[in-house]
Amino acid sequence: MTEPQPPAAPTRADGAKTPAESRRASRAAFIGTLLEYYDFSLYAAAASVVFASVFFSGSSPFLGTLQAVGTFAVGFLVRPIGGVILGSLGDRIGRKRILVLTLVLMGAATLLVGLLPSYEQIGWLAPALLVFLRILQGIGASAEYGGATLVAVEFAPERKRGLLGSLPGMGSALGGVLGSSALLAVSAVLSKEAFLDWGWRIPFLLSGIILAYGLWLRRSLPETPEFRRIEGAAQTSKTPVRDVIRQQPRALITVMVMAIGMTGIGYFYLVFMGTFGRNQLGLDQTRVLVGLIAAQLANAALIPVFGGLSDRLGRRPVIMFGFVYSALFAWLAFWLLSNHTTPIVFCLVLAFGNGVGVAAIFGPMGAYVTELFDTKHAYSGLGLGRETGNALGAAIVPVVAVPLAFHDTTIWLSMLLCGIALLGLVAAAFSRVRSESSTEPNRSEAPVPV
């Protein structure tokens, strides 16, 4: 018996966009990244409050924290490899097939984390298997955001590219809210002992429900009009990774550095600040999870606001504002936490740091990075540039921040956050969208102002 699928939308023979396709693509992009980042952020939250005691119970508080955050970092370190391989396939065989594959990889790995025995049950094999599953998650996530963004933007009307291109970012933020909320709900209902023993596994197992719906939705998604156009004209690249390196090195570098800044700031608040709240501020796991939820709710609410604003003001000015804001807020954030150590202040710092700052960067970023690359190697450019930046920003920054947090002053943490924000600002200032006349001769749409 075959699985029912949504009815196919009408597709124009010339590969142009139809309103029905645009709506379906936006929904598929949103739901897909919601699932992917439910899984990814659930792991991040669990790494902050659970994994040190479940999978690294034989270590000291400092070493256990470093190991738990380190397993989170592993998922990012493999993402450039997955991004290059899957991105290259997406440029050669189409966006849709790769997006289905990313869901399967991510969903299966997350379900298995929920079934993984603890360190007390199987010893060193437990953290080893955790790292392996984290690698699978990283490979799955490596092509998810880039592919979902391409689908949303390539189906979007010209004047709504910023807004619709922000939907994968909004989906990722809401997925993070769902992941952290599920972990919080289970921890609130169960005793601490029951939560650490088996309760934390429930949100991981529930991801299977979202996975089933995401697969049902994406299997019926048509190929994007941009890919249909170049495929019909026999303009697809046989070596998209090599082509993007040779033809658009500036775009690759600027995307990579902007990703370092954006992802480094985001996961500083979403991963490192969870451990900082517990170890340095003395907050319990419930208050830490509330702070993480506040950060992601603010981010989800403001991402489409800044994405839509970029349709009116241009992508680059809005992105640059986000980096400047993040650099300045780094000093205010730790001044507040040093002088007013309360759960409310902790929540406000995470909400304003990950909300306003990261959302201003993340909102326009989806449309902007697709406008930097030629369609024939856009997926490869996103996979190589963005995922390399993700690996450096999200994996290294939280790990570097852990030993800095054990100093007597928080000035080094402010300097770290400020430094990566200024790095992203410089990259955004020097970035340039591609020349429409030289790279897209068959397109009739005008370039988006920056």
Asked if residue 442 is part of any domain, the answer here is: no
Residue 440, pLDDT score? 39
Residue among 206, 275, 247, 214 nearest 6 (CA): 214
Banded pLDDT at 444 (limits 50, 70, 90) = very low
Q: Which ranges of 340-447 does DSSP label H, i.e. alpha helix? A: 343-352, 358-372, 378-381, 387-390, 397-405, 411-430, 436-439
pTM of the model: 0.77
> Collapsing DSSP states into helix, strand and coil, what is residue 427?
helix
Q: What is the mean pLDDT of the chain?
A: 79
Residue among 414, 400, 390 nearest 255 (CA): 390
Please say whether the beta carbons of 354 and 220 come within 8 A. no
Q: What are phi and psi of 314, to 5 degrees?
A: 105, 150
Residue among 179, 191, 73 nearest 135 (CA): 73
Asked if residue 13 is part of any domain, the answer here is: no
Count of helix runs (H) and strand runs (E) in the chain: 25, 0
Please say whether the beta carbons of 388 and 245 come within 8 A. no
Q: Percent of the chain beyond pLDDT 90?
A: 13
**Where do we find the tokens 């924000």?**
421
Distance CA(349)–CA(340), nearest Å, equals: 11
Asked if residue 4 is part of any domain, the answer here is: no
Asked if residue 7 is part of any domain, the answer here is: no
> Which residue type, as a one-letter code, is found at position 370?
T
Residue 324, pLDDT score? 95
Residue 136, pLDDT score? 84
Domain of 301 in residue numbering reads as 19-225+237-436
Neighbours of 1 (CB within 10 A): 3
Asked if residue 450 is part of any domain, the answer here is: no
Please say whether the beta carbons of 100 and 219 come within 8 A. yes
pLDDT mean over 88-97: 82
Residue scoring higher pLDDT (209 or 351): 351
Query: In the Cβ-directed half-sphere of 317, how many Cα atoms lie within 13 Å?
Result: 10
Asked if residue 203 is part of any domain, the answer here is: yes
Cα 308 to chain center, whole Å? Answer: 19
Residue 1, pLDDT score? 40
Could you read off the pLDDT of 133-152 as tens digits, one per residue? 888 888 887 778 778 888 88
Could you read off the pLDDT of 26-59 as tens digits, one per residue? 777 887 788 777 877 777 777 767 776 677 655 5
pLDDT mean over 388-392: 81
* Cβ within 8 Å of residue 188, ≥6 positions away: 286
Of the chain, the end-to-end C-alpha distance in Å amounts to 51
Could you read off the pLDDT of 209-263 as tens digits, one per residue? 878 887 887 777 777 777 778 777 777 778 888 888 998 889 899 999 999 999 8
The token pair that represents 166 in the structure block: 């922000």
Asked if residue 176 is part of any domain, the answer here is: yes
pLDDT higher than threshold 80 for residue 311: yes
Distance CA(268)–CA(416), nearest Å, equals: 10
Residue 254, pLDDT score? 92
pLDDT higher than threshold 80 for residue 274: no
> How many structural domains comprise the chain?
1
Neighbours of 257 (CB within 10 A): 24
pLDDT higher than threshold 70 for residue 337: yes
Banded pLDDT at 200 (limits 50, 70, 90) = confident
Residue 159, pLDDT score? 82
Residue 303, pLDDT score? 93
Could you read off the pLDDT of 144-179 as tens digits, one per residue? 877 888 888 888 777 888 888 888 888 888 887 888
Neighbours of 368 (CB within 10 A): 30
Residue 171, pLDDT score? 86
Lowest mean pLDDT among 8-17, 88-97, 195-204, 247-256: 8-17
pLDDT higher than threshold 90 for residue 327: yes
Banded pLDDT at 281 (limits 50, 70, 90) = confident
Q: What is the CATH number of the domain that holds 42?
A: 1.20.1250.20
Asked if residue 446 is part of any domain, the answer here is: no
pLDDT higher than threshold 90 for residue 360: yes
Lowest mean pLDDT among 68-82, 191-205, 312-326: 68-82
- Of 186-190, 255-259, 382-386, which one has max mean pLDDT? 255-259
Measured in residues, the chain has a length of 450
